[in-house]
Structure 1
């Protein structure tokens, strides 16, 4: 305790000394239940939140185990108020349960009558209750299973949902037996989900989240609706399911802007679910088209807000969310917890990397100086224009060239946010570009050419952030992004982490205009990398030219 890397403070913040020899071990265990708030070079700041504690409890961690972590790594004694608050907060999870009665009715139960009385008097919850058959039980209106979980979470009493799930229409699905098998952590994720029936599995990009989905389908053997980010992702899911399971092409349907098929396994895009016609959601019938027994949410951190409302009505279906990060830029992590389910399983990037299942990665921040004329333009610009000026600095093109020259035989993604910048990069580097305007067929041809090595460099917009399988990409050059998005950082680094035939270590470069909002946003994006155990090396343009 005398010389640990942590300082636990009474406001539930935890400071981590990055240079301490035990910092990596402490960070690994702390990340189970605490959220990283700031990650400058020397001291990282974590906060112990209620939602983080409840997610950890749902994943099987105990209050005593969390306190043991703090006690083992702290430099000073853990404040008694923090220990008491942590125990009490963790103890709230499961005090309320949602169960099925003998007649199939939904029941809200608790062995703590004071807690039950407290929540039942809340006006927003009171309207969802339609009976009080005994002192330990209230009857929930049949339609309100999702909404009552949301409302209970808001007032600090998360309910454990034990009401079970409809089996759906049985459909035989098995994993193909052709010389491959689920990795141990994938099997553990499937087993954990299968025991609970709803929740989120957190795995890094490249660690095989799709295979966890396939494993869950094989375990439940029922009609399945898979919700994905875009059409390219839908087709990659289809190809992976055809390769890894006993499903045939006749059993897998695509429901997107281009194709409208309903089959025992249907892959639908978030865009089609949230598209409107005359003010109404036009394609919600896909949610009721079959008696789905399982709904998979790919990249659940990107789930559009309207889908939460739709999901509130799907609580009787088994639900599995797959993601590399539970961080949502809109702050709706609580809705993921309530409506998809709590975190059931996660495996840190570094742990899987050490097991050899994903590639190691080195991260670099390259700081670029704006010339005097651009500095003046930046200084005179309105606040909402400054990021674009800094992010699209022409000097970044020269820096990208220098980095490409350093990695002469590697496959490289140049990633940006602004279309005019991407066009300039494409012209300057002589490399094809892929944006949202690129037809799906053309995108797939270019991605395939990149996989085969006939195209070594691709200039891509955010369409390549997620669900694009490019395993031989070993270098990413990020020239601009969505302000300070940690989600995006996760996806972009994830492009490089898939295991490679080559022996290249992945290199992730972010080009930053020094002393601008570009640099400020970069600090926020780095938080995700720090959460996963990665650190940045800061370089100047002279360093990459060396």
Structure 2
């Protein structure tokens, strides 16, 4: 095998066996061979390609494009050195597997694939995961092959290190070895991330600087035009048009060159803020990383306390703050939470939306209002020390994007799920700042956030009429009919009766379905049609345990701050987006344990595939997902064969619950 192949899985130089057969004087297989001896690393390459940890000689020959006889002899060669084991089975004469598999159950193992920029880790400890999170993306945390990390360009561009040497040290600590191939690529990405920066000229205007005349001429001046810059100042400097900074950062980011923002922005009037709650260790780490970068996006599951961490950022900045939220309900909730957890007084906090028009040292405004020309000048005229973008996954949309033109010394985004179905999530980080977060599974393991039990339940049709309508429908109409399956009414009723002591939220995507469930269960239906004062009354009653059940439309996904529940039933809606699945499952993800999430999908329809697909990313974040076929006789309330046991949960929080919000009713 070649040096390149042998070093691929080990991340370093190829490991030649200490054997006379390896010195080129003899040929252990009897066939013509490459200069380099077959190694265990080659076996790992082939097993990765085959997608299983054991191989037959035939599978190895296909993976490495060698004869089967050659493959058999290579395997025997490794077996003689106890690197692999052989096992006879009925379907194949012999299968082979690495000897080290026998003790993988009690030790951490890291395998690096430099060409694919992937890292597979079996049983990683907390230190390894923390180090990996600084330069790699957890692509799959629920795989049979272990934790799968991918090193992407943006992970290197946003790595929290001041120098290449510090980043290289973190990599070597995480991998337990030096991977020259991976390090070479990472170094190239580190260099790309330091080619451009925005600075403030002594006369007050903004300058785009390049590290060399070549990079300025071949990249920036090819991508930017008079809409973005006035004129060159030198071979490596351009005079930037006021207000085009965000566009320049986005364009160069998309070209593969993130821009370092070193502008001397005004921080506005000082505003001392004391945080009156103790931050958890990981929240303190978030705030410290934000303080180093001056910008960022706090990414973590619902219940991880992103809002309280944002108040920690406010306390660090000690400057006037503008908070942008999707709805007026969230503006009110933010105001209440700031009063509860900080030293600020009511007269220092203002709300600016359809119901109130107050601009104060801390102002909470809706994205829609902040983007309107007739209101925007009020925010432009004030020098903000910090702008916070709540539910910032919406920032790339045309409606919200205008709010990112507001300039401030510091920018902070919050999101449980920075996922967009239009694949524009990269724009979130160019418009607001780099992601700062903690791996979900680490929070589950540490007990800061309780992992809900999530089960997809496949429900039969409630009547033949809807089943026949589905069979004759096309396109999106098929999904709509399946989502509104009347059989789900009986299933919701059944699940509520199976958990009589739970505080429950039932989610629907369609007003008609919500109204039908409301009538069938004699329970209020909270939707976009519900007046604001009525919403507030119903939600407050739920929080005070005066109600134990609400039916909620899509407005509850992000547009309002829903109280914590210990039972969530998603009757329809997971066909919309992965973010929607995260938000709905997240309504039970709080420090109190025992939470259950049931997702209902009509059996044998496209809704089955939608439900599996939209929940896959939750599985990759460490959540356990089960599947269950619903089988009951018509009109019967008998248990399923494998019905889930009832769980207890008090639905309470520890005082720093997440404020979740997105597109609301303005």
- TM-score tier by shorter-chain length is 0.7 to 0.9
Among candidates 124, 137, 153, match of residue 34 of structure 1: 137
* CA distance in structure 1 between the aligned counterparts of 2:382 and 2:255, rounded to whole angstroms: 35
Change (3 A) 1:511 1:186: same
Residue matched to 1:213 = 310
Instruction: Compute the displacement of 1:291 (Å).
Output: 2.4
* CA distance in structure 1 between the aligned counterparts of 2:361 and 2:271, rounded to whole angstroms: 7
**Correspondence list, 1:515-530, <5 A:** 515-530=604-619
Change (3 A) 1:65 1:410: farther
Residue matched to 1:544 = 643
Q: Partner of 2:203: helix, strand, or coil? A: coil
1:428 aligns with 2:520: yes
Q: Partner of 1:399: helix, strand, or coil? A: helix
Instruction: Compute the displacement of 1:141 (Å).
Output: 2.8
Gaps of 5+ in 2: 1-9, 11-43, 45-100, 102-108, 631-639, 646-666
1:144 aligns with 2:235: no
1:110 aligns with 2:210: yes
Could you state the TM-score of these two structures normalised by the residue count of structure 2?
Answer: 0.71
Greater radius of gyration (CA): 2
* CA distance in structure 2 between the aligned counterparts of 1:428 and 1:79, rounded to whole angstroms: 64
Residue matched to 2:154 = 51
Residue matched to 2:386 = 294
**Correspondence list, 1:346-361, <5 A:** 346-361=437-452
Among candidates 578, 586, 603, match of residue 514 of structure 1: 603
Instruction: Compute the displacement of 1:71 (Å).
Output: 6.1
* CA distance in structure 2 between the aligned counterparts of 1:42 and 1:419, rounded to whole angstroms: 43
Flag the structure with more relative contact order, 1 or 2, with Cα contacts below 8 A and sequence separation at least 6.
Answer: 1
Instruction: Compute the displacement of 1:238 (Å).
Output: 0.6
**Correspondence list, 1:76-155, <5 A:** 84-125=184-225, 128-155=228-255
* CA distance in structure 2 between the aligned counterparts of 1:41 and 1:395, rounded to whole angstroms: 35
Could you state the TM-score of these two structures normalised by the residue count of structure 1?
Answer: 0.85
1:194 aligns with 2:291: yes
Among candidates 251, 276, 280, match of residue 183 of structure 1: 280
Instruction: Compute the displacement of 1:187 (Å).
Output: 2.0
**Correspondence list, 1:275-290, <5 A:** 281-290=373-382
Contact (CA 8 Å) 1:226, 1:265: kept in 2 or not? yes
Instruction: Compute the displacement of 1:265 (Å).
Output: 1.2
Q: CA RMSD in A?
A: 3.4
Change (3 A) 1:332 1:139: same
CA deviation profile, 1:91-140 (whole Å, cap 9, x unmatched): 31122222223333322223344322212331435653344444443332
Instruction: Compute the displacement of 1:46 (Å).
Output: 7.3
* CA distance in structure 2 between the aligned counterparts of 1:21 and 1:191, rounded to whole angstroms: 28
Instruction: Compute the displacement of 1:331 (Å).
Output: 2.3
1:378 aligns with 2:481: no
Q: Partner of 1:121: helix, strand, or coil? A: helix
Q: Partner of 1:360: helix, strand, or coil? A: coil
* CA distance in structure 2 between the aligned counterparts of 1:380 and 1:37, rounded to whole angstroms: 38
* CA distance in structure 2 between the aligned counterparts of 1:9 and 1:378, rounded to whole angstroms: 48
Instruction: Compute the displacement of 1:333 (Å).
Output: 1.8
**Correspondence list, 1:446-525, <5 A:** 446-466=538-558, 468-469=560-561, 472-481=564-573, 483-500=575-592, 504-525=593-614
Among candidates 487, 491, 512, match of residue 399 of structure 1: 491
Instruction: Compute the displacement of 1:163 (Å).
Output: 1.4
CA deviation profile, 1:177-219 (whole Å, cap 9, x unmatched): xxx3222222222222122222211122112122122222222
Residue matched to 1:366 = 457
Gaps of 5+ in 1: 276-280
Q: Partner of 1:489: helix, strand, or coil? A: helix
Contact (CA 8 Å) 2:208, 2:237: kept in 1 or not? yes
* CA distance in structure 1 between the aligned counterparts of 2:233 and 2:370, rounded to whole angstroms: 39
Change (3 A) 1:188 1:378: same
Contact (CA 8 Å) 2:368, 2:399: kept in 1 or not? no
Among candidates 523, 532, 540, match of residue 621 of structure 2: 532
* CA distance in structure 2 between the aligned counterparts of 1:191 and 1:23, rounded to whole angstroms: 23
* CA distance in structure 1 between the aligned counterparts of 2:503 and 2:169, rounded to whole angstroms: 44
Among candidates 295, 317, 320, match of residue 223 of structure 1: 320
Among candidates 351, 357, 364, match of residue 254 of structure 1: 351
Q: How many residues align?
A: 527
Q: Partner of 2:368: helix, strand, or coil? A: helix
**Correspondence list, 1:312-351, <5 A:** 312-343=404-435, 345-351=436-442
Change (3 A) 1:367 1:259: same
CA deviation profile, 1:43-78 (whole Å, cap 9, x unmatched): 9987654334434467999764786699679xxx99
Change (3 A) 1:234 1:308: closer
* CA distance in structure 2 between the aligned counterparts of 1:451 and 1:400, rounded to whole angstroms: 22
Change (3 A) 1:347 1:421: same
CA deviation profile, 1:415-453 (whole Å, cap 9, x unmatched): 111011111111222222111111111111111111121
